[in-house]
Amino acid sequence: MRASRFSLALICLATLGAWAAPLAGAEPAPWGAGCMPTPEGAVRTSANCGASLSNGLATAPPGAPTAVKQAIAAANQIRGRPYVWGGGHVSFLSRGYDCSGAVSYVLHAAGLLDQTMVSGQLAYWGDGGRGRWITVYANNEHVFMVIAGLRFDTREDPPGVSGPRWHRAKVEPPDFAARHPAGL
């Protein structure tokens, strides 16, 4: 009995160590801290860190913090709205959104932002670096965010489609400042 408990403890420690290893050493992957990119058609689960995406709607993993669930719900509300330059800046509520208006709307709905910001301002918002659940990537020309492993962005839409949408695609942020809300 004692040997099986010891073996079980070693297995648990090894599993925990393997899970935490990517966070301890190198920078976490840009698609979410500790998350693995998923191939097209694959399902995200809490085991591979992140929200699931089905028919353009994201679903937060069950263990996500409340602010993450609120952010995902808010992004779902405006996903598919048209791209409108300046949209979401006079008011958080708009018929369409630009990149920073969409990110501001989502952060505000999650209780993380009090006023709209343009992309250049968001490059200095929050804490520096990638977050565990939410990361905002911003520069003077564009901003997008990764929430629970999914990218919410106004770029790379299919032909004839514009506006904020969820993407599974890997993020390539060399010219973007990575920022995140404290604790997330």
pLDDT tens for residues 90-133? 888 899 999 999 999 999 999 999 999 999 999 999 999 988 89
Greater confidence (13 vs 183) lies with 183
- Confidence band (pLDDT; 50, 70, 90) for 30? very low
- What are phi and psi for residue 143, nearest 5 degrees? -145, 145
Domain ranges within the chain, ordered by starting residue: 28-180
Q: What is the pLDDT of residues 38-90, one digit of tens each?
A: 566 654 443 456 788 888 999 998 778 999 999 999 999 999 899 999 998 88
Q: Residue 57: which residues within 8 A CB-CB, separation 6 or more?
A: 76, 79, 166
Is this model's pTM higher than 0.85 or not? no
User: Partners of 165 in the beta sheet?
Assistant: 153
Task: Work out the number of other CB atoms within 10 angstroms of the CB of residue 11.
Answer: 10
Helical axes 99-109 vs 66-78, angle rounded to 10°:
140
Name the architecture of domain 28-180: Alpha-Beta Complex (3.90)
**Residue among 158, 167, 75, 154 at smallest CA distance from 112:** 75
User: HSE-up of 54 (CA within 13 Å, CB side)?
Assistant: 6
